[in-house]
Structure 1
């Protein structure tokens, strides 16, 4: 079986009626970056179409609100360019934003410390395919151990601690929480 026949098979399958929503979604993704202002394009991503409503993920609630103010204009531009049936509404939400994990939380571990780094020569995709729960657990414990070995130790309890916590409190979040709780108890007495 050659690659050209596989490509032809995929083209034939994509023309089936069951793939209409997928083709519509792909068309929307291609149009999206051309109608959205450039700064907003890097902070938004179409997720899916459901009942003629386009769900768009944003990097933050601020971007969701900013784009929702422009939704009428964006919807009008999008429908003008769509070859399929028009959309009725755009929904913006930061809930499923996953392309920019570094923007999610200050404790995010940098790329060199990433849990899914190629430590054993196995790609992240291969790591996600497991045959047994035991293998999945073993891969997870190995990834956690690799992650922890790159972190500095808390000066008080000697647990691996993200740099941001050490910069902020000079100790891990567990030690600072314990410090605060003992401090608040001593003020009550």
Structure 2
């Protein structure tokens, strides 16, 4: 997974119609790393300002509690840099795992996936697998899925250890499939 800089995140928030942020919140996001430092920044995510109260998601309850003890100092530092002063800060783990938005794959992510050892081309060279209409019955859907997997894997080389079809990149990298390799780890 590629990490984005704070400026990239802010830029994507500006461009995303449903998450239009105010100038004040954007300036808060810009000064947040300087105020809290790199260690705290990695464990926090400012979410919004509501009636002068900054809401910040934290990676764990321990971080939320620790930062509650430091909130007055953080608040004072932020208010020196912000045009409109904040009244308080609330730290919570509630929205830590919630993604900000679905972002399209970056060029770097696309290149990484193309070079990944577990990647298998959708169809063998020259063959074309036609998509089949969706089936609503569970047994028929499973059968259709199993046939699709069989069609995609029939031309793959076999793992020496388990004799299952494996992507060529995995066999080149480890000499066995990824499942067998992880058993050895």
Same fold (TM over 0.5): no
- Scaled by the length of structure 1, what TM-score is found? 0.42
Point out which structure has higher relative CO (alpha carbons under 8 A, 6+ apart).
Answer: 2
- Scaled by the length of structure 2, what TM-score is found? 0.42
